Chains A and B, each alone.
Chain A
């Protein structure tokens, strides 16, 4: 005899289920778009970069990648010039931003009372909101004549030093906020244990809080370096539209960075007419830049994971 136990459909209203599926797929597509954009970046850069390398090999001019200087429209693509320029400017930026940003972070995290903190922190955040084109203008019209040229009389209007200091101003808030977050994440009990042993605030900060938050502080420095490498406008405006394409390691000379090389080639201010592989070289430099910053960002998250103290 057949079992006639009543079956109850618990799966719910089919329209409702269809709507659920629709929204889930819609949100998934939105999330997946980031992967699509990343792949699009890599492919569009790699395609032109490859035709650049292939073009050089066909012409037998591969050595122009490390000779003379960066004059893409004359067929001279000295990668050294722009990589060294990039590193010098980012390094000057770190030299400026590290003491300022870290000092501000330590004061805000360890010394300032809550009221002072509420007043001072927004000021640092305002600095973070200044667009780089404004800092580029200021680096050219103030930092260069009022600071760089006063200290080093041999410096011209355009110098890697002025651009580097401008980049430093740009990354101070980044160093300050990431380091401050790292120090505030150190539990209060560690500080109290230190005070209990008779240490004063300076000793507690230097011997307890800083070692405990070193992973976050190191990550902030790497991130700031990556940001300095990727910065375009300050360098483009202050480091040299004139004569910035010859290889140099003197920070008082004008210089060219990877980002500025892309920008000046794109808007055609690198003075020399001609074509050749100039357009393709743009993407080659872009690909280098992409992987360089990708590596630095990966390194910063590795540092956080490797050296993190968990409480």
Chain B
């Protein structure tokens, strides 16, 4: 009995010993701890976002429960019962429109020059470095640029109105200058991703450079350009600091009912993020504690919608070469 069992026992012992040798020392405690630490860091980042959003939603909820959509469609007021964000939405829209009209065409044009035309010389390298540096300049410095130059220019060409140039036109130009480098960088990336064969196909049938750009390069790069542009708009809408420097209205103001479009355009203005800022500074807790978070939720809804549009463009039109 024992003689038949003994070889199997020895075999099992040998098998275990060999397996142990092959497997090393088993799962390392240090490696598991490292992985756990990484997961903890990632979870903390995500938890911050969840706490941030839920905290704001809870504070904002009473406003939306009591006022519904009326909070979005009513204008500035000194009375917390009737104050809304509509004035800010209009201001942010006007700024976004200026950015679309100025920064987007100029930015795409500059990207086309850098990627398609620019010779490899010092001037090109200078432009390239400048664009990259401008993208890293703090936004408040663009506010100082706007205060020193754009406000004065707007006033000089007769668009100053009652604010002496500190109006939404100057704000739009300042924002356009602020986001221009971002438009250039994202558009240049999209244009660079278009393969050379696409261009050569155009040249092959006798097209000139501009014709190739218009009919081949830009259409092929359009999804990337559009994605970048929409994200740029989100940036311009969320930015506050430069507006404070160039004289956005941080208090209550009202336009008289018979003001012309020109008077409204050149008069005092505010923007969605500026409303968040000025309400959060009010001593009246109705403004600081419930209306400011509600304005934040409106701002975040606008920004998330823009981001969703960008993701849609990227997924819907993205080309794999």
Tell me, yes or no, whether B28 is within 8 Å of chain A by CB.
yes
Say yes or no: B181 contacts A34, CB within 8 Å.
Answer: yes
Q: Please measure, in the bound complex, the distance between the C-alpha atom of A176 and the C-alpha atom of B49, giving whole angstroms.
A: 14
Say yes or no: A33 contacts B137, CB within 8 Å.
Answer: no
Question: Which B residues are CB-close (under 8 A) to A41?
Answer: 137, 141-142, 144-145
Tell me, yes or no, whether A178 is within 8 Å of chain B by CB.
no
Tell me, yes or no, whether A124 is within 8 Å of chain B by CB.
yes
Question: Which A residues are CB-close (under 8 A) to B133?
Answer: 38, 294, 297-298
Say yes or no: A103 contacts B38, CB within 8 Å.
Answer: yes
Tell me, yes or no, whether A216 is within 8 Å of chain B by CB.
no
Q: Please measure, in the bound complex, the distance between the C-alpha atom of A125 and the C-alpha atom of B49, giving whole angstroms.
A: 11
Tell me, yes or no, whether A89 is within 8 Å of chain B by CB.
no
Partner of B244, one of A100, A202, A263, A296: A263
Partner of B42, one of A28, A29, A107, A202: A107
Question: Which A residues are CB-close (under 8 A) to B131?
Answer: 34
Interface string of A283-302 (1 = CB under 8 A from B): 10010011001101110010
CB contact under 8 A between A290 and B141, given known A134-B300, A259-B241: yes
Tell me, yes or no, whether A190 is within 8 Å of chain B by CB.
no
Say yes or no: A129 contacts B303, CB within 8 Å.
Answer: yes
Stretch at the interface among B72-80, B108-116, B219-227: B108-116
Say yes or no: A202 contacts B112, CB within 8 Å.
Answer: no
Q: Please measure, in the bound complex, the distance between the C-alpha atom of A202 and the C-alpha atom of B136, giving whole angstroms.
A: 34
State which residues 123-165 of A face B: CB under 8 Å.
Answer: 123-127, 129-138, 140-142
Task: Give the nearest-CB partner of A233 in chain B.
Answer: B240
Task: Give the nearest-CB partner of A140 in chain B.
Answer: B280
Partner of B208, one of A20, A123, A125, A201: A20
Stretch at the interface among B3-11, B252-260, B291-299: B291-299
Say yes or no: A137 contacts B276, CB within 8 Å.
Answer: yes
Task: Give the nearest-CB partner of A99 in chain B.
Answer: B41
Question: Which A residues are CB-close (under 8 A) to B303?
Answer: 129, 131
Q: How many residues of A contact B (CB 8 A)?
A: 89
Partner of A134, one of B106, B143, B299: B299
State which residues 177-192 of B face A: CB under 8 Å.
Answer: 177, 180-181, 184
Tell me, yes or no, whether B134 is within 8 Å of chain A by CB.
yes
Tell me, yes or no, whether B39 is within 8 Å of chain A by CB.
yes
Tell me, yes or no, whether A217 is within 8 Å of chain B by CB.
no
Stretch at the interface among B29-37, B62-70, B93-101, B193-201: B29-37
Q: Please measure, in the bound complex, the distance between the C-alpha atom of A100 and the C-alpha atom of B31, giving whole angstroms.
A: 19
Q: Please measure, in the bound complex, the distance between the C-alpha atom of A298 and the C-alpha atom of B110, giving whole angstroms.
A: 22
Say yes or no: B244 contacts A267, CB within 8 Å.
Answer: yes
Q: Please measure, in the bound complex, the distance between the C-alpha atom of A236 and the C-alpha atom of B46, giving whole angstroms.
A: 25
Question: Which B residues are CB-close (under 8 A) to A229?
Answer: 138
Tell me, yes or no, whether B127 is within 8 Å of chain A by CB.
yes
Question: Which A residues are CB-close (under 8 A) to B126?
Answer: 35
Task: Give the nearest-CB partner of A134 in chain B.
Answer: B296
Task: Give the nearest-CB partner of B296 in chain A.
Answer: A134
Q: How far is the CB of B186 from chain A (nearest CB, A)?
A: 14
Q: Please measure, in the bound complex, the distance between the C-alpha atom of A120 and the C-alpha atom of B241, giving whole angstroms.
A: 30
State which residues 48-80 of A face B: CB under 8 Å.
Answer: 48
Q: Please measure, in the bound complex, the distance between the C-alpha atom of A243 and the C-alpha atom of B86, giving whole angstroms.
A: 34
Partner of B49, one of A38, A40, A127, A201: A127
Question: Which B residues are CB-close (under 8 A) to A115?
Answer: none
Partner of A202, one of B30, B39, B106, B293: B30
Task: Give the nearest-CB partner of B289 in chain A.
Answer: A141
CB contact under 8 A between A48 and B42, given known A27-B110, A28-B113, A130-B52: no
Q: Please measure, in the bound complex, the distance between the C-alpha atom of A225 and the C-alpha atom of B153, giving whole angstroms.
A: 34
Tell me, yes or no, whether B85 is within 8 Å of chain A by CB.
no
CB contact under 8 A between A232 and B140, given known A131-B299, A263-B244: yes
Q: Please measure, in the bound complex, the distance between the C-alpha atom of A48 and the C-alpha atom of B141, giving whole angstroms.
A: 13
Partner of A138, one of B55, B136, B247, B307: B55
Say yes or no: B300 contacts A24, CB within 8 Å.
Answer: no
Q: Please measure, in the bound complex, the distance between the C-alpha atom of A167 and the C-alpha atom of B46, giving whole angstroms.
A: 16
Say yes or no: A40 contacts B245, CB within 8 Å.
Answer: no
Question: Which B residues are CB-close (under 8 A) to A141?
Answer: 55, 59, 280, 289
Question: Which A residues are CB-close (under 8 A) to B24?
Answer: 198
Task: Give the nearest-CB partner of A169 in chain B.
Answer: B48
Say yes or no: A44 contacts B148, CB within 8 Å.
Answer: yes
Going nearest first, the 5 A-B pairs with the smallest beta carbon separation are A103-B41, A230-B138, A131-B238, A30-B109, A44-B148
The residues of A with any CB-CB pair to B shorter than 8 Å are: 12, 16, 19-20, 23-24, 26-35, 37-38, 40-41, 44-45, 47-48, 99-104, 106-108, 111, 120, 123-127, 129-138, 140-142, 169, 172, 176, 198, 200-203, 205-206, 223, 226, 229-233, 236-237, 241, 259, 262-263, 266-267, 282-283, 286, 289-290, 293-294, 296-298, 301
Pairs across A and B, CB under 8 Å, 29 listed: A20-B209, A20-B210, A27-B113, A33-B110, A34-B127, A34-B130, A37-B134, A47-B148, A99-B41, A100-B45, A103-B38, A104-B42, A133-B277, A137-B293, A141-B59, A141-B289, A142-B51, A172-B48, A198-B24, A226-B136, A230-B139, A232-B241, A233-B240, A241-B281, A259-B140, A263-B241, A266-B147, A294-B136, A301-B132
